[in-house]
Structure 1
Amino acid sequence: MSTNKMLDSFHEMSQTMLSTKLEKPLFYKNKFALRFELGPTDISLWADSKRENINEEYFRVASNRAASIFRSAFSQNDEINVCYQIFSDGRQKIRKSDYFFKLFSKLSGKPMVFSEHRDIYRDDLEYKRYCIKRVTISDTYTHDLDEDEIIFTLINSDFGYRGPSLLGQLFLINCTKGLVFHIYDDRGLDLAADNKQPLESIYHEQNSLLLDYDRDYMDSLFARI
């Protein structure tokens, strides 16, 4: 059985056959999606005018916002698939030494599949060896995850000197609710689904954190008249 077929098999067993595209930007790649603002606009990212020291209050607020949205999207017993991927020119690989495996070390006994995806971003790749390398961990539940450490790591994406960070993209698939959670960096977070239903209550619950730039589109999908 090919690696991709094995991955499909895992997805079928855990009822995760979503058509949601696991691509950045998740919000713009999927019809039914929400985009949230994590980094507060009223708090400076920098603690000084020379931009030499970051403002930890900015990251505290961003982390708290991400945690609040996570709690709206996940219940403790929801079934989860963890997907981590990197863009590769054929040489780069996901290695067991990558921080991803330390971050999810408690899931080391769970089913894990490595796969390649060559058409995930575009169909006209200049070189056929270009692809997405992905690892998927299944048969996992929200209570297995350390969401605080996950959020801290993802918000550090552009600021690795604050602490650990991931070089690739991390998607948490909520198989129970049928949605995908993705923190793209300290600025924001996307949720996507195959239909409106999994996102409607979150739209209302976390409305104050929606990114104003895309609010009109989200209102057109979810606002109740």
Structure 2
Amino acid sequence: MSQNEIKLERPLFYNNPFGLRFEIGPAEIGVWVSRERRQLNEKYFNAALERAQNIFDTAFTLTDEISIVYQMFSDGRRRIKKKCYILRQINTGSTKEIAFSDHRELYSESLGYKCEFWHRATVSGLTVADINIKKILLALINTDFGSRQPVIAGECYFINHTKGLVLSLYDDRGMDVVALKKETLQALYKIHNKLLLNYDRAHIDQVFSHI
């Protein structure tokens, strides 16, 4: 699968032909121990990471060919550095290169000035063993919580070329997994059905409950 076949723009679930949307942060546990004291609930984040990891492990196997795309908005001055947190979690080795590119076709309706674009770093030819998946997932879960580290400012997409799907954990609330073919996501739909986001469940069931 070419990475250009799936639109890497949030919300991934609504921008592509077939998708699943999972609830990652468990509402029954709750984010806060005490909102007044701004004390976060560590059990919530541990459970969210476990859910995200379990879904990832179903969608990606050890031998799958993977690319990672990391992208962020730029006003013309911001760039993705090779030593940024997310790229430091990837073992690029001597045979893999990081490709940097600029994009104005992404979120084009919100780009008001010619100097604005989305800066992207793509690392291809990877396998699961090349990536510290747990640390990247945790940083994405921490996106909206400045007091927690590590954290990633930007968007991260895991592209599975072998299976033909893309996974995006957008923050602690949810994860999208999309594909060009419904059959690609059928196993994920069955295995992790209980984690489907209730807001989109009716639509997802309508698509995937009948093969």
TM-score bin, normalised by smaller chain:
over 0.9
Residue type at the aligned position of 1:175: H
Structure with the higher fraction of residues in helix conformation: 1
Q: CA deviation digits over 1:22-73, x for unaligned, max 9?
A: 0111111112111000111111211114151100000111111101100110
TM-score, normalised relative to structure 2: 0.94
Q: Alignment partner of 1:184: what SS?
A: strand
Q: Aligned in 2, Cα 1:216/1:174: closer, same or farther, shift over 3 Å?
A: same
* Aligned-residue offset at 1:101: 2.3
Q: Alignment partner of 2:32: what SS?
A: coil
Residue type at the aligned position of 1:119: E
Q: Compare 177-186 and 144-153 and name the one that shifted more.
A: 144-153
Q: CA deviation digits over 1:110-163, x for unaligned, max 9?
A: 121100111111257321221110000011112222221121111111124322
Structure 1 residue ranges without an equivalent (≥5): 1-14
Structure 2 residue ranges without an equivalent (≥5): none
Q: 2:126: which partner in 1?
A: 140
- Distance in 2 (CA, whole Å) between partners of 1:154 and 1:49 is 22
Identity of aligned residues (%): 44
Residue 70 of structure 1: which of 52, 56, 62 is its match?
56
Q: 2:43: which partner in 1?
A: 57
* Aligned-residue offset at 1:103: 2.2
Q: Aligned in 2, Cα 1:40/1:51: closer, same or farther, shift over 3 Å?
A: farther
Aligned residue pairs total: 210
Q: CA deviation digits over 1:10-31, x for unaligned, max 9?
A: xxxxx43452110111111112
Matches within 5 A, 1:102-181: 102-104=88-90, 106-109=91-94, 110-123=96-109, 125-181=111-167
Q: Compare 182-191 and 18-27 and name the one that shifted more.
A: 18-27
Q: 2:14: which partner in 1?
A: 28
Q: 2:169: which partner in 1?
A: 183
- Distance in 1 (CA, whole Å) between partners of 2:168 and 2:191 is 18
* Aligned-residue offset at 1:108: 4.5
Q: CA deviation digits over 1:154-210, x for unaligned, max 9?
A: 111112432211111100000100000100001110001112121111011110000
TM-score, normalised relative to structure 1: 0.88
Q: 1:79: which partner in 2?
A: 65
Q: Alignment partner of 1:126: what SS?
A: coil
Does residue 215 in structure 1 map to residue 201 in structure 2? yes
